[in-house]
Amino acid sequence: MAEDLAGLRHRLAASLPGRIAAALAGYEEFTGAEPPSDAKGFAAWHAAAKAALAHVDLLVKLARWAEGSSDSAEDGDGVERLLSQARAALDALDDDEPEEQT
């Protein structure tokens, strides 16, 4: 079992940086577009942006595990900074979200 885990860590450590970069590129492309102005469209757009951000966050955590990093609170790399900025941007969108009219 330990050998299987070591092999998995090695494979993930090799493949995850590219996958993280691709997920970030997709997130940036998606959020670079103007969100829909109607409440339902905006809510769907916002939920999709949050899901993409959560996906990137999970990939980063998995990459840290694969590298054997025991301190997941490190915040010195560019990916963490980008995630932090993206979360702040989504929080700002939450504040500006249009009220849904029924």
Which among 94, 91, 19 has a CA at the least distance from the CA of 57?
Answer: 19
Residue 47 lies in a domain: yes
- 62 within some domain: yes
pLDDT band at 44 (very low <50, low <70, confident <90, very high): very high
Tokens of 26: 């997709």
Instruction: Return d(Cα 2, Cα 26) in angstroms, integer.
Output: 34
Whether the Cβ atoms of residue 46 and residue 97 lie closer than 8 Å to each other:
yes
Tens digit of pLDDT for each residue in 71-99? Answer: 544 544 666 776 777 787 777 777 766 65
Domain of 20 in residue numbering reads as: 2-96
Q: Which two tokens stand for residue 57?
A: 């966050």
DSSP character at residue 35: P
Q: What's the structural domain count of the chain?
A: 1
